Amino acid sequence: MNFTRQYLAEVGQILLQLDADAIERVVPLLAETRARGGRLFILGVGGSAANASHAVNDFRKLAHLEAYAPTDNVSELTARTNDEGWASVFEGWLRVSRVGADDIVLVLSVGGGDAEKNISPNLVAALQYAKHVGARVIGIVGRDGGYTAQVADTCVIVPTVNSAHVTPHTEAFQVVIWHLLVSHPQLKAEQTKWESVR
């Protein structure tokens, strides 16, 4: 089997193994957050940061959920990194945003963070702070879910079907899952453009 067919076969395997119930558990948490006027903060690093930016747009425009990603403000992100260090960059951003019990933090990550291995320590610190102030936490992550899966109110783990492709599959399925969420009848508040054109 050539690489393209193998890769696409892996995508099919992930689809079959994805926990639809875990995705469905995310929906009421987001709907409740919107109903009480809470905000959605989306955290991601690397490719997941790009996904966070796109997801913010979709949750705001299509689901009418007030949403933000700290990585969208590169000036603040780099100032905090330079002055305070990478590990605290998201926690500091959440503090200034006064994240609280009405809000929800969504982590998009391949590994979910691991303080002991010093992998995405900024996600770990942000989640510790979010839980401390009573914010809800959800994750769309890969591998075993890492720290995110340990503390999340609910977490969707993208199954590993080939350890050589964990990152591309996880980041690709983050996109699939959040598009599912903003299309869900309990969250969708706005029609997408092309679907509205007859």
The pTM of the full predicted model, rounded to 2 decimals, is 0.96
- Per-residue pLDDT for 186 more than 90? yes
Strand partners, 108: 44, 140
Q: Is 65 helix (H, G, I), strand (E, B) or coil?
A: coil
pLDDT on residue 1? 75
CA distances (Å), 195 to each of 9, 98, 190, in order? 29, 37, 11
pLDDT on residue 196? 83
CATH number for the domain that contains residue 151: 3.40.50.10490
Tell me whether residue 161 is in a domain.
yes
Question: Tokens 């720290």 map to which residue?
Answer: 147
pLDDT tens-place string over residues 79-117: 999 999 999 999 999 999 999 999 999 999 999 999 889
Into how many domains does the chain fold? Answer: 1
**63: its two tokens:** 């689901």
Number of H helices, E strands in the chain: 9, 5
pLDDT on residue 193? 85
Tell me whether residue 106 is in a domain.
yes
Domain that holds residue 109: 3-189
Percent of the chain with pLDDT over 90: 93
pLDDT on residue 92? 97
